[in-house]
Amino acid sequence: MRAPKTWRAVVVAALQAAHAAVRRLGAAAGQRVVAGREAGYRAWDPEVIGVDTATERAVVVALQRQGVHGTLLSEEAGEQSLAARRGVSPGATEPVYIIMDPFDGSLLYRRGIRAHWFTALGVYGRDGTPRAAGVIDHTTAEVTVADSKAAVRIPRPGARPVPLRPAATRTPDGAFLEAYMMKPRFLYATATALRPLIERAKFILPNGGPGGFVDVAAGRIDVYLAWNEALTEVYSAAHIAERAGCVITNWDGSPLAFTADIHAVFNLVCSANPGLHRRVLAALKTIRPPKGLAT
């Protein structure tokens, strides 16, 4: 059985379906609370709004139409089986894990702040190796995607793909750092713990999740520090940074190993290049991870 499309094409089509759903959705419907999380899953973030479910549904339908099947691990739906749409033969050569963050930036969306709105999608084989991953920026329509052949960004619909080029920065001094600090319980804990490293930086972008990996891969940010990030926010986009040549490890320098546990959380460092990564890890040895963050 042969796939009718490459995994890259499958991912891009699904991301474009999510973008179309966002554009169709009115603000009132998109901002309305439509559901709550299942008991025991993301208890610190209990509300699901219209844009979350609309993008998730659009991606799932796009995948099913292309015959993708396996296990869906999504921020809104949790863990579910994914079957090809009735009457459609499975288009993949294998069952896969589909890791999805349907709409990253929900709180900003609820207040009409047009920034950091992303849908991210990663596809992994049952052996835990990546097949493809992609992120779409709903404010610009830029798609960033990676597979076994390359890691590229497509600046706008119809534009030619541009290879991702991480920065050549070699030291944390004067570097551009990224860590999620928009919610108060993350802001104070992260800023306090990371102060020795932050004080050496030139600029701090207080975002996280899938966009953080893309920012490092595209050369906009030098180091992304992920604190207590959920599985759906890591494996939906980490492959993009890895395929672009960035380095991702756990806080202690151990390699990132794929897991299909929907409840898993990660403390990771993503750096633009190996030399910078070694220096960041050395600096982090003197810093304790932030305490008090929700898991």
Distance CA 62, CA 11 (A): 9
Residue 38, pLDDT score: 54
Distance CA 183, CA 228 (A): 13
Q: How high is the pLDDT of residue 46?
A: 55
Q: Which residues, 6+ apart, have CB-to-CB distance to 169 below 8 Å?
A: 175, 176, 222, 272, 273, 276
CA 163/CA 175 separation, integer angstroms: 22
The percent of residues in the chain predicted with pLDDT above 70, rounded, is 89
Confidence label for 87 from pLDDT (cuts 50, 70 and 90): low
Q: Is the pLDDT of residue 90 over 80?
A: no
Q: What is the per-residue pLDDT for 42?
A: 52
Question: What confidence score (pLDDT) does residue 34 get?
Answer: 66
Q: What are phi and psi of 218, to 5 degrees?
A: -85, 0
pLDDT at 292: 53
Please answer whether residues 189 and 214 qualify as being in contact, where contact means their C-beta atoms are separated by less than 8 angstroms: no
Share of the chain above pLDDT 90, in %: 77
Q: What is the pLDDT of residues 177-233, one digit of tens each?
A: 999 999 988 898 899 999 999 999 999 999 999 999 999 999 999 999 998 899 999
CATH 3.30.540.10 correct for 7-163 = yes
Angle, alpha carbons 165-167-170 (nearest 5°): 145
pLDDT tens digits for range 24-76: 998 877 777 766 555 444 554 557 778 999 999 999 999 999 999 999 999 87
Q: In angstroms, rounded to a whole number, what is the distance separating the alpha carbons of residues 158 and 195?
A: 43
Q: Which phi and psi angles does 249 have, rounded to 5°?
A: -140, 170
Among the ranges 21-30, 72-81, 88-97, 155-164, which has the highest mean pLDDT value?
155-164
Spell out the domain ranges in the chain. Answer: 7-163, 176-284
Helix intervals (H) in the chain: 7-24, 27-31, 50-65, 106-110, 184-193, 195-198, 210-217, 231-234, 238-244, 274-284
Task: Indicate the pLDDT class of residue 77, thresholds 50, 70 and 90.
Answer: confident
How does DSSP classify residue 273? S
What pLDDT score was predicted for residue 9? Answer: 95
CA–CA distance, 74 with 121 (Å, rounded to integer):
9
Straight-line distance from the first to the last Cα atom of the chain, in angstroms, rounded to the nearest whole number? 41
pLDDT for the residue numbered 264: 94
Separation CA 201–CA 173 (nearest Å)? 5
The Cβ-side half-sphere exposure at 148, using a 13 Å CA radius, reads: 8
What is the C-alpha to C-alpha distance for residues 128 and 130, in angstroms, rounded to an integer? Answer: 7
Instruction: Among 46-50, 122-126, 144-148, 269-273, name the one with the lowest average pLDDT.
Output: 46-50
d(CA 232, CA 155): 24
Which CATH code of 3.90.550.10, 3.40.50.2300, 2.60.40.10, 3.40.190.80 fits the domain covering 176-284?
A: 3.40.190.80
